[in-house]
Structure 1
């Protein structure tokens, strides 16, 4: 469970003017004397590359969550000042009235600050809020090259399914949340289908994920290209229509449109239920870290590698994005969230048969990142960028994690085979 501290932050600043390094400070309402000092390895999203921003929260509440260290070291997650979300047009204390009466909640699309990092001492910490932002007017001190920009867009599409907050739930995307309303609609749909239901195959899940990746890639590229005036819902509709035409599908009938809208309404209802449950549990504060042991092991390995690299100065401050040490760290950092998405989506193992193929796809993505780490390690060895014994130990553990993932994949493939026979 992530720490969510946005309501207690009164003001702050984030500095990514040195590539590969982020420094930040946060002041808390009622404790303005001592800010939280944050030092992170990594970079923000392109809108904040080479920039310094300050922000204020006019609605901050007194207090700071006990247990959080005021000296934060770790790895940058997603950090952007242009995250598109639906912002309620009513005070937070009135939102419950709309849920109780079933009235639509009035909202508008807007940009918020999203500041995520992985702390060595406190785990994942997230700030997501419509703070008042002030971005420095100076030109960025650095920017991505065209080649790096293209690589970033590809990486963004590959990892978009692990985004911690869903902007909108649409039946054309894979991996929608499983609220009770969604489950009920799914069960009703399955009841109407042929009795000989079969689970999706791994090949079908691969195609579904590839389709979702392509759609998200195109949407995010257009959002960045069109800037502040981008209309997310319009872009979403246009890109879905574009893919339909590319596949040679005819325009949907009014009945199909009505059915799609019903599915979308059910999905959004499920998402709202999940959000309500999260809000009702927020007062309890962070729980003890939970998750599959393999996910925790991958996370701890990535944090340890990031810490060692920083302490031993194995990566220069001006290193380019393809620097082998940076690639090693980032690949290991990406493997953990992929595992969390695969192993944390269901309370029990193995997952229900209908989700087995999708889980395999996520596990294979985690394996891909570990393979990227292995290739980066080979480059580190060839260029003598780290200590040999240290790197051997890191890759030995990464190999053990990969072997465990492959065993899970084999188990699910066998389960799929049994379920289809």
Structure 2
């Protein structure tokens, strides 16, 4: 899983005026000293040779779960870095997101540029800064120019950086170096969990590439999607120097189809909650999200022009997002829990993401209380208990899935 720190950045600078080297400093709200970057590689062509400065107009503190783990010295390799990524930007206030979501109303949007800075560090793994509202400044002249051929080579090098990072995760898990003392630690605790995290990172990269190509052709249809999917899969395989895939046996093909069907069912459960039995914890989280949103709206606690980073907005976003991820990991036939090792890794990735959203909601609620945004201590106390109960139960399911994957590791040992 990536460290996503964009919301908490005050300002920063990225310097690629020396080829094959990216240095920089990033100031995070509440930190006494800046994060320093020392990375190998180059950004995309639009930032190659440039000195970029950026300012976040509305920084907010790091979530409590991230405050102690982010290293001040970020040494590693460049991933994808560009200020020209096209993304969908919603044309509705954050306060109306719940209304659109609940009523399944199509959300209006426009295409805009997004600053996307990704790197892979020895201390924190994958780090991503993704923002559409930063104020950007670049020097009038680049120190050097990147050709189109060099850009293609750089894209392949960036992809190798990602896959090399995955290999590092796997080696760390194999050597038994994964940390287990912190309940909220996302570090893999078994070879199988490391492989699930690596596969999730691989799919994130694959989906980013597919999305970038689809955005260039708004008229693309399902056949175009399938073609692009296969092309990007093949591209990633070549970049990793993986051998040509061998034909599957009938048993392997059956297992592959079953896995595809299960993944599709989980995606539907996460996005639409269709055709799956809703898990009690999902119902509990969604009910808490709904009652919390209703209470905030009924009492008019949100100022009329509250920005998207307002703690009450963050509280609601964390609750709704946690419910969606819990649905993807838990909904289905209760008799199938815990799932087989083939599916346990996917469920674990989703539940760890849900736990992260719950931590965000808890941090937002703490900010509501600390900043005295509302004067209802009983309501805050009750919500704290509700969040903590869901968090603890989510952690329990995470532990069960980790046990499944550990057992699977042990069963594969050759002695």
TM value normalised by structure 2:
0.47
